[in-house]
Amino acid sequence: MTHPAIEMNKISKAFGLFFLLGVLGQVVSSTPALPNVVIIYVDDMGYGDLGVQNPDSLIPTPHLDQLAREGMRFTDGHSSSSICSPSRYALLTGRYHWRHSENLTSEMGPSAFSKEQLTLPEMFKELGYATAAIGKWHLGFNWLANVKPGVTLKNRKDPDVNAFDWTLKAPDGPTNHGFDYYFGDGTPNFAPYAWVENGYISGAVPTINSTREGLYECRPGPSVKGWDHEKVMPTLTKKTVEWIAKREGNKQPFFIYFAATSPHTPILPVEPFVGSTKVGGYGDYMAQTDWSAGQVLGALKKYGFEENTIVIFTSDNGAAGSMEKRYLDTGHNSSGPLRGKKLDIWEGGHRVPFVIRWPKVTTPGSVSDALISQIDLMATFAAALNYQIPKSQAEDSINMMPVLRDQADSPRDSSVHNNKLWGIRKGDWVLLENPKDTSRADYMKANQFPKVQKGSEVLYNLSEDLGQRVDLLKKYPEKAEQLPEMLCQARSERN
């Protein structure tokens, strides 16, 4: 089904396009091919896990370091949230997740997307792209709609495997929102534990009620018997490479969203990565994640796509809470110089690794301190590809092309962050509303992070205090008044 916003765009452009083809004739066929687009979106990778970004890193990331040397690395790039699914929603729609809902972490339930919401893959499809998503979805398939007639679920959070008709297509999911192809396991630590391809269970169907809670930090629920978590990342990597290989010789441009499930739990590195780092299982799994990215980058080169493919590498949020013990045990700090981690409103929760390699646009080896967000990708591609985003769609997305071309500082001078708690950024200033200190006391002490008073607002100047250690709220009363007003205005725009 064609998206309503796309249909309107098609109608409005039809006559103009017909005239253009008649005037230009054969010239049209000689225009440069549209660039391919690859987004490598990893899960729970911290700002300090990217080797080229952290001189004290103990985890080798050679493939990602090389990508940074070939493109532009951002030191102030952000996800919309400090948790998984809200960031994914924002990236794929160009709008803050909190405009829709503060909590989007549904997997068995309905999709996070409305039918009226234009998505990034739908935009690419209108432009003639082949589109694919491989890996983690975590934005809803609505499996709950496939409960057998006459059956009532006693526990929606841990539903009985026998309550579902697993031969039916999932009512919602990636292929309902712009992707021509999807393959993955939905979400690695959420049921159902099974492979899904284009909305259908692929291969073995769930037959057991898994009690995986506490094992690999996975939720209980329907599962394929003998489901092997270790095979997830190798399989997703292989599928991504195969999909790219099938594009060889095809002149149709493509967009692929490779949503890796690592280094998120369950942390299960495979050989030869086991024991390959000095940072335990996480370090080994991060090294495997770098290898997976390298496989995708290698496939682009092998099949002749490297020179005409935009590659974006980033993470959905900061490092998970286990990073504190890891730092105290090994000395590797996944948050690098930042305060906080996944789930936090502090910088470490949402300032993430962010690299863009755009042939003939980004300067190889360049480093930008511009404030950017993953929600800005949609407006940036629209501007580069001469696509007019319909009104009321991607309303928070800002065109980054001037930054990518080294022609200007960031056009974004503010951003709003939310994960139950709220924060707002204006220039170098950031105000956090009632932030919580959730970190271990020994980790806080080792990094000289002072505790904040419960229920209080705090104000920081990130250009002088990236680690958010010195609260300036009382020293700068004008900022203390301006930023809460901006945050109040943003909250009023929720819909």
**Residue type at 200?**
Y
Q: What does the alpha-carbon distance between residue 40 and residue 9 come to, in Å, rounded to a whole number?
A: 29
One fold for 35-413 and 420-495: no
Output the pLDDT for position 16.
39
How many residues comprise the chain? 495
Output the pLDDT for position 110.
87
Which H or E run includes 74?
A: strand 72-74
Q: Is the predicted pLDDT of residue 22 greater than 60, yes or no?
A: no
Task: Give the mean pLDDT of 375-404.
Answer: 97
Residues 6+ apart with CB under 8 A from 289: 42, 45, 233, 260, 262, 263
Cβ–Cβ < 8 Å for 142, 111: yes
* Protein fold of 420-495: Arylsulfatase, C-terminal domain (3.30.1120)
Q: Is the predicted pLDDT of residue 213 greater than 60, yes or no?
A: no
* Per-residue tokens: 406: 């080294």
CB atoms within 10 A of CB 25: 8
Output the pLDDT for position 212.
63
Kindly list the domain boundaries of the chain, sorted by start residue: 1-31, 35-413, 420-495
Q: What does the alpha-carbon distance between residue 487 and residue 415 come to, in Å, rounded to a whole number?
A: 10
Q: What does the alpha-carbon distance between residue 366 and residue 355 come to, in Å, rounded to a whole number?
A: 10
Burial class (CB in 10 A: 0-12, 13-18, 19+), 45: buried
Q: What does the alpha-carbon distance between residue 329 and residue 273 come to, in Å, rounded to a whole number?
A: 20
Q: How confident is the model at residue 464 (pLDDT cuts 50, 70, 90)?
A: very high
Output the pLDDT for position 17.
40
Output the pLDDT for position 259.
98
Output the pLDDT for position 12.
46
Q: What does the alpha-carbon distance between residue 202 and residue 134 come to, in Å, rounded to a whole number?
A: 14
CATH number of 35-413: 3.40.720.10
Task: Give the mean pLDDT of 24-46.
Answer: 76
User: In whole angstroms, how far apart are CA 31 and each of 420, 444, 494?
Assistant: 48, 56, 42
Cite the beta strand spans of 238-308 per DSSP E: 254-259
What mean pLDDT, rounded, does the chain reach? 91
* Per-residue tokens: 42: 């990893």
Output the pLDDT for position 320.
94
Task: Give the mean pLDDT of 106-121.
Answer: 88
Characterize 99-113 residue by residue with b for buried, 16 or more Cβ atoms within 10 angstroms of its Cβ, and e for exposed.
Answer: bbebebbbbbbbbbb
Summarised one tens digit per residue, pLDDT across range 231-288 is 999 999 999 999 999 999 999 999 999 999 999 999 999 999 999 999 999 999 999 9
